[in-house]
A and B are shown apart, each in its own frame.
Chain A
Amino acid sequence: MQFTINDRPVEVEVDLRTSLLDLLRENLGLTGSKKGCNQGACGACTVLVEGERINSCLALAVQYQGRSITTVEGLSDAEGLHPLQRAFIEHDGFQCGYCTPGQLCSAVAMADEMARGIPSHVTGDLTAETIALDHDELRERMSGNLCRCGAYNGIVAAIAETYASAPARQEEAA
């Protein structure tokens, strides 16, 4: 099977039953993406396929042949950490860190979805051309990423600082 992973071509022979998550972790040594629930409930395995976020645990690797996949290892570049990664450090957007790679990938793709005007469950006016990433939009759009430590305050603050059109509320409750 052939893929482009973090901008590099990859060719690998694996069993058809291999999930994209297991391919990344077990066959390619990219252990940034985490196996939390392994059933699409927690978001720790979130990666980007051509920029769109998916749960790699629910994806059969074979179905993603030829596609371009970005993991948390691909977010930083020669210049250093991604701005969102720096914001997570600044705002203590984690405790144990297990959900963090998924949170980061998910938020990067969420920002792109906002830029494309994709609505959410809490969007008031579905016909609006642009949607502001306010407090409610941010939390709704990140609801597919759980944090068992409850570091949501810092996570929301870091994402808001990086992407939001309005600052997140300071009194944020987990």
Chain B
Amino acid sequence: MTPFSYARADDVPGAIALAVATPDAKYLGGGTNLVDLMRETIERPAALVDVTGLSREITVGADGGVVIGAGVTNTALAADRTIRTHYPMLSRAILAGASAQIRNVATVGGNLLQRTRCGYFYDDAARCNKREPGAGCDAIDGFNRIHAILGASPSCVATHPSDMCVALAALDAQVRVAGPDGERTIALVDLHRLPGGSPERDTVLDPGELVVAVELPALPFAAHSTYRKVRDRASYAFALISVAAGIELENGAIKDVRIALGGVAHKPWRAFKAEAALRGQAPSEANVRAAAELELADAAGLRDNGFKIELAKRAIVATLAELSGEQA
């Protein structure tokens, strides 16, 4: 690790002031990703601003929406009774990720801002545009079984590893951000970037901006939602493919639906095309399969990960079959 200064923030304005005061400062949540990357000297912040003492509440609004403080731990959010009952896909997504030890300290804000990454990002003997802009990418022609099939670029084929963010993408979550120039709200689906020519930037946040909270709009049918994760072992592994989905049926047809995919892209992937194709349709296997084909129409496989294209389609079909079966 390279040397750094450390300060604990007492409130949001104080945190921003501390971060702005030192060039190359970073906010520190639970540290489960940042400390690991600092040990590898991939991240070299000059200052750490500890924000774990801030924003630790989950507040339910009068309309049924929920505001989740950025400092809430992954464990606390997954175990929250409102989330378990009204947004089960979110509890299930969090519980499908990492280990209990990591979920106990990892924060909501930190989960959002963990690095999009692959093994080559960690390997300093390999070329990686994300670690060293312009260096090249050894993943594209390397071992790329777990890599992106949607939205990748010649610069980067890494995937965003969060499970939680896949559910948040499906739930139309909004991210409340505070920075030196004031506050703004960003739709979760717009927070993370596709790599394009600058994969060193994972999100649209500006320097000094701090995630303060995540807002979940009321979505009554999210009570009928789930998260399916397909991975190489039964527990404690990144997704090959994951699906967060919720469905509302009326008179045998899909009135509304939310679908997001994990493990497929540089960001959590909201399946807008599939959702649009399914509204008003019967939730038949053929219809869902057709919608999945549409969503994956632009998918491209690399040497090792082509199987994920078919896997993603099947995972969508299986997840919606499970949900519509529960409501039939």
Question: Which of A's residues lie within 8 Å of B, judged by CB?
Answer: 16-17, 19, 38-40, 43, 46, 52-55, 58-60, 62-63, 106, 109-110, 113, 116-121, 123, 126-127, 139-141, 143-145
Return the contact of B31 from the options A59, A110, A126, A141 (Cβ within 8 A). Answer: A59
- B100's partner among A117, A123, A141 (CB-CB below 8 A) is A141
Which residues of A have CB within 8 Å of B31? 58-60, 63
- B84 is an interface residue with CB less than 8 A from chain A: yes
A161 to B235, CA, bound (A): 23
Chain A residues in 8 Å Cβ range of B104: 52-54
Question: How many angstroms between the C-alpha atoms of A78 and B269 in the bound complex?
Answer: 55
For A16, the closest partner residue in chain B by CB is B6
CB pair A117 B92 closer than 8 Å: no
- Residue B99 at the A interface, CB < 8 A? yes
Query: Which one of A40, A110, A127, A144 contacts B36 once the chains associate, using CB atoms below 8 Å?
Result: A40
Chain B 1-60 interface residues, beta-carbon cutoff 8 Å to A: 1, 3-6, 28, 31-32, 35-36, 39, 48, 50, 52
Q: Which of A63, A119, A121 contacts B52 (CB 8 A)?
A: A63
Chain B contact residue count (CB 8 A cutoff): 34
- Interface pair A43/B84, CB less than 8 Å apart: no
Which residue of B is nearest A143, CB measured?
B235
| Measured CA separation A106–B99 after assembly (Å) | 11
CB neighbours (8 Å) of A113 from chain B are: 75, 100
Encode contact with A along B65-96: 1 for CB under 8 Å, 0 otherwise.
00000000001001100001100100110011
Of A55, A62, A139, the contact of B102 (CB 8 Å cutoff): A55
Query: Could you tell me the distance in whole angstroms from the C-beta of B32 to the nearest C-beta in chain A?
Result: 5
Give chain B residues whose Cβ lies under 8 Å from the Cβ of A38.
39
